[in-house]
Copies of this chain bind each other. A is one copy, B any other.
């Protein structure tokens, strides 16, 4: 059950464990001929390395932490997929952590990751203050922040230009003639909502007579994907049933969009005639909705890939300057905004 170790391989060949270690880790300082014999013998004995032993000795595990709010959210699922794939290419394990945007949970997971001595962490922070993430700096653990910013940019970061995406979407609504627009937001302490709302405001402020009403709900009331849907639906019902119903609505994320659409349907309203709808985030089936949804899509694959690259680059060069990469979202106009299908 407990397999062979370096001792066994070394004994078999009459060499030291140091040599076995060097040969197997591909370090130079071992003659190629000997190295080859070591590899062959290890293979023959069915040797498997012991990551705990290595991590203990090197004070660093071959694993990275991925701290997100919820893998069940398709946005994070895509990111997790990419991150995991890129980490696997480097034979690093990925420790999955779902915080639900809760700082206490975030802290617990970071404790765990520090106990595991991870080589690095990729995190979508729950808040913009450094908070529990300060530990990562204190421990000198390479960290990259994903989709969200931390005040004073203490970490490498890959961000999406949320503001531009939202602005573009709302500006488009204004071009369709809408002047009374609502933004359905799930408030969190994280970057995206804040920036997206700011983007809406910018677009509105650029047009005379345009008005923005904001409908906000506490994300902490909304647990999980299902909860966010329902929050969107509830907020939208409220808004659509109120006086001064807006003629168009901006949904702050993909989950909220679905909730809003459900409310619209329950009320028997037609999109885009009775109310136009646009939202942040795309999904592969959003063109199958009734009607196809116009969105600002985040560059999911690039986001995850860049995060991993930044992380491993930081691991290799602990002292290089902090770098921030900002990726543009892409607006995809379908029918829910009032355009005719393309």
A binding-site residues for B, Cβ under 8 Å? 1-2, 48-53, 55-56, 59, 61, 63, 66, 70-72, 74, 77-78, 80-81, 84-85, 88, 91, 93-98, 108-109, 111-112, 114-117, 139-140, 224-226, 229, 258, 261-262, 265, 284-285, 287-291
Contact = CB atoms under 8 A, between A and B. Distances in A.
Nearest to A70: B81
Nearest to A55: B52
B225 A284 contact: yes
A253 to B, nearest CB: 14
A48 B258 contact: no
Contact of A284 (B59, B88, B108, B258): B258
Contact of A56 (B50, B77, B289): B50
Contacts of A66: 96
12 contacts: A1-B139, A2-B59, A49-B115, A50-B115, A56-B56, A74-B77, A80-B96, A88-B108, A93-B116, A226-B284, A258-B284, A258-B288
B61 A81 contact: no
Nearest to A229: B284
Given A48-B114, A70-B81, A71-B77, 7 more contacts: A52-B61, A74-B77, A77-B77, A85-B98, A226-B284, A288-B290, A290-B291
Nearest to A254: B285
Nearest to A230: B284
Q: What are the 8 closest A-B residue pairs judged by CB atoms, nearest first?
A: A290-B290, A52-B55, A52-B56, A72-B81, A77-B77, A96-B96, A93-B95, A51-B115
A47 to B, nearest CB: 11
Nearest to A81: B72
Contacts of A224: 81
Nearest to A283: B285
Contacts of A49: 115
B95 A94 contact: yes
Contact of A84 (B48, B51, B98, B289): B98
Contacts of A96: 66, 80, 84, 94-96
Contacts of A226: 284
A63 to B, nearest CB: 8
Contacts of A261: 288
A71 B56 contact: no
A32 to B, nearest CB: 25
A53 B94 CA distance: 19
A83 to B, nearest CB: 9
Contacts of A225: 284
A48 B116 CA distance: 10
Given A71-B77, A95-B94, A51 B289 contact: no
Nearest to A228: B284
A117 B81 contact: no
A139 B3 CA distance: 9
B288 A265 contact: yes
